[in-house]
Chain A
Amino acid sequence: MRQALILVALAFLPGIGQAIYFRDKVSWKLPVSASEMVTVVQARAWGENAIWIDARPDEEFARDHVPGALSLNEDRWNELLPQFLAVWSPEKKIVVYCSSQSCNASREVAHRLRNQAQPPMQNVFVLEGGWEEWLKSRQ
């Protein structure tokens, strides 16, 4: 018991150090800040000014997707990114979605577009509720 407590206490030290190091890189309040989320209604209102990105796996994209959406997932990032870059322009808003509210792929693709794409992109939004919410809005 004493040994376990010592290990538990020891692990706090680097953990706290890392939390301080990352203090500006992560929000403790929201996984994605509210300004980076968009609802289906808002995104639809952008019309032609929005590029829809489907971050789900290829087979789910092939089954069905938001009309006009481009597939861009992490599995085939390098293959799919050029076709997205071909239609992208800085003034356009990018709406990324995955299967549901609980999925993570849209956040990751949005994160990569903002931080790793060349050039890094602004105006990248994650669709609240993802594909499930889109389907509900169609009914």
Chain B
Amino acid sequence: MAQVATVKFLWRIVDLIVGGVFICTGAIKAFDPIRFASDIDNYKILPWAIAVGLAFYLPWLEIFCGIALILRRFYLGGLSILAGLISVFVIATVAAKVRGLDITCGCFGHASKKWNFSTHLGLDLVLFGLVIFLLFAWGRNFSASQR
């Protein structure tokens, strides 16, 4: 019983951490969308117009998903979107590195521009791991509630 309570407590803490991180990074990017558009453009994957559109849109998606995690409303939807977003960030970052592009990642807003490739990738992977943990925890809890 105590173990279940500990897992639920840990689950809640991870919820707050992941939700908080995405609200913060989303807010940083939403505050300066033009710079975020430049960061997206640096990857040289998308046309500039799409980079601008994403720069206006993605930060808010991150913020809403972060809020969903903290409030536990639309929880699974928020987690699924965040897992998808982080996967895209990781793939784009690795692809840029392979192509030898001199980029600022943009994943954690423009404030992260001084971070090197390993730091960006490491943080992305840690966040991805936490999101997977939350999906796993939600799945177990859902299965238990069905029994």
Contacts and interface: CB of A to CB of B under 8 A. Distances in A.
A99 B102 contact: yes
Interface string A6-30: 1110111111101100100110111
A19 B30 CA distance: 11
B38 A10 contact: no
B64 A10 contact: yes
A100 B102 contact: yes
Decide if the interface of chain A is mainly helix, strand, loop or mixed.
helix
A7 B61 contact: yes
B41 interface: yes
A31 interface: yes
A1 B78 CA distance: 10
Interface residues on A, range: 20 to 34
A75 B48 contact: no
A7 B33 contact: no
A3 interface: yes
Nearest to B101: A102
A122 B59 CA distance: 32
Which 5 pairs between the two chains have the least Cβ-Cβ distance? A3-B77, A4-B77, A11-B61, A15-B57, A3-B74
